C-alpha cells in the first residue's frame, strides 16, 4: 500500500512499454513490504535532459535508463562512476541532495549472472570469446577484463567495428574473423553472445562449436527465447550453459538497493514471475 511517504523510482526509455524492469522491482517491493513504487516513464529523446532533473525535483530516489538514453544520461550527471565513464553509458541514476549520480551496472549484472549460473567458472580458466561489438559487448568485455580473464577473443560481423572497440578498450583483446570459429574457440573457457542473432524475430546465429572444449561455459545474453539455438546446441554437446535473463535481473540489484535501502536477491521465484509476465 502506497502512502504519501512512498519511495519512488522508475525506468526512462523511448519506447518503454517493453521493459521488464517494473516487474522486477515491483516483485522486490512486494517481497520486502516496502512503501514504494517503480514506474515506466516514456520520455522522448528531446525531453530527456529536462525530465531527469524534474524527477529529482519530484523527490524520486532515482531511475534506470534504457534505449535510447544511456549515452545522453552520462552527460547530464553531476558525478559518474569509473565503470560508466569507461563504457560511455549510464543505466542507473541516483538522486540525492548533492545532485544526479550515474552508474552502469550491466557488467555487474553479467558477471553475477555468470557466477550464479556457472559457479565453477573462474576468470583464470582461460580465454573468453565474445560475439558482437556493440554496447553490450563493451560492458561484457570490460567486466571480463576487470575480473582478470587473461585473453578476450572478439568476433563481429563487421570486423572494423571489432577492431575499433578493441583499440578503444585496450587490454588483452584479439580480433578474429567472423567465420573463424575453429581458431577463436580453440582452448576457450567461455563463449558469450552479445549480438541480437538468435533472438525472436532475428536471423539465427551461425555458430560452429566443434572446436569449443566441452568444459567451456556458453552464455547468451538474449532472453527471448530463453533457450536460444546457441544454448540448445551447446547443451546438447555437454557444455554448461547460462541464459540471459539473469543478467537483466542482477543488473537491477544495485539500483534497488540504492533507492529502497534493501539488498534484493535473484531467485527462481523472481525468474518465474518475470517470465510469466
CATH topology assigned to domain 121-239: Rossmann fold (3.40.50)
* Span 234-257, pLDDT tens digits: 999 999 999 999 999 999 999 999
State yes or no: 221 annotated in a binding site.
Answer: yes
Q: Please say whether the beta carbons of 80 and 101 come within 8 A.
A: yes
Going from N- to C-terminal start, the domains of the chain cover 7-104+251-276, 121-239
Residue 20 known to bind ligand: yes
**Residue 164 is assigned to a ligand binding site:** no
Asked if domains 7-104+251-276 and 121-239 share a fold, the reply is yes
Determine the pLDDT at residue 33: 97
Judged against a pLDDT cut of 80, whether residue 160 lies above it is answered with yes
State yes or no: 120 annotated in a binding site.
no
Q: Is the pLDDT reported for residue 20 higher than 90?
A: yes
Beta strands 217-220; 190-193: pairing state:
parallel
Residue 82 annotated as binding site: yes
- Whether 216 has a binding-site annotation, put simply, is no
Residue 1 scores a pLDDT above 80: no
- Whether 215 has a binding-site annotation, put simply, is no
Q: What does the block give as the cell for 264? A: 534484493
Of residues 56, 70, 103, 253, which has the active-site annotation? 70
b/e 61-87 (16+ beta carbons within 10 angstroms → b): bbbbbbeebbebbbebbeebbebbebb
Q: 112 among the known binding-site residues? A: no
Residue 47 pLDDT > 90: yes
What's the pLDDT band for 277 if we cut at 50, 70, 90?
confident
Give the pLDDT confidence score for residue 198 in this predicted structure: 96
Architecture of domain 7-104+251-276: 3-Layer(aba) Sandwich (3.40)
Percent of the chain with pLDDT over 90: 99
- Residue range 218-237, pLDDT digits in tens: 999 999 999 999 999 999 99
- How do residues 84-136 score in pLDDT, each as one tens digit? 999 999 999 999 999 999 999 999 999 999 999 999 999 999 999 999 999 99
Q: Catalytic site residue 5?
A: no
Q: What is the mean pLDDT of the chain?
A: 97
Amino acid at each position: 500500500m502506497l502512502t504519501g511517504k512512498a519511495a519512488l523510482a522508475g525506468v526512462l526509455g523511448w519506447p518503454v512499454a517493453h521493459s521488464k524492469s517494473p516487474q522486477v522491482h515491483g516483485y522486490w517491493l512486494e517481497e520486502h513490504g516496502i512503501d514504494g513504487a517503480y514506474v515506466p516513464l516514456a520520455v522522448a529523446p528531446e525531453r530527456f535532459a529536462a525530465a531527469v532533473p524534474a524527477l529529482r525535483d519530484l523527490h524520486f530516489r532515482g531511475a534506470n535508463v534504457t534505449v535510447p538514453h544511456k549515452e545522453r544520461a552520462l552527460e547530464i550527471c553531476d558525478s559518474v562512476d569509473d565503470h560508466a565513464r569507461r563504457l560511455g553509458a549510464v543505466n542507473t541514476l541516483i538522486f540525492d541532495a548533492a545532485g544526479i549520480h550515474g552508474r552502469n551496472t550491466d557488467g555487474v549484472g553479467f558477471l553475477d549472472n555468470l557466477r550464479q549460473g556457472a559457479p565453477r567458472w573462474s576468470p583464470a580458466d582461460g580465454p573468453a570469446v565474445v560475439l558482437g561489438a556493440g554496447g553490450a559487448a563493451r560492458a561484457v568485455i570490460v567486466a571480463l577484463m576487470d575480473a582478470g580473464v587473461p585473453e578476450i577473443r572478439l568476433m563481429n560481423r563487421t570486423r572494423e567495428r571489432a577492431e575499433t572497440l578493441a583499440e578503444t578498450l585496450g587490454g588483452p583483446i584479439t580480433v578474429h574473423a567472423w567465420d573463424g570459429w575453429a581458431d577463436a574457440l580453440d582452448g576457450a573457457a567461455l563463449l558469450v553472445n552479445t549480438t541480437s542473432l538468435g533472438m525472436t524475430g532475428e536471423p539465427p546465429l551461425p555458430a560452429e562449436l566443434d572446436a569449443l572444449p566441452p568444459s567451456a561455459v556458453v552464455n547468451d545474453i538474449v532472453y527471448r527465447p530463453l533457450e536460444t539455438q546457441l544454448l540448445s546446441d551447446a547443451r546438447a554437446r555437454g557444455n554448461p550453459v547460462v541464459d540471459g535473463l539473469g543478467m537483466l535481473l542482477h543488473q537491477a540489484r544495485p539500483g534497488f538497493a540504492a533507492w529502497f535501502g534493501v539488498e534484493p536477491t535473484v531467485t527462481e521465484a523472481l525468474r518465474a514471475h518475470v517470465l510469466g509476465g
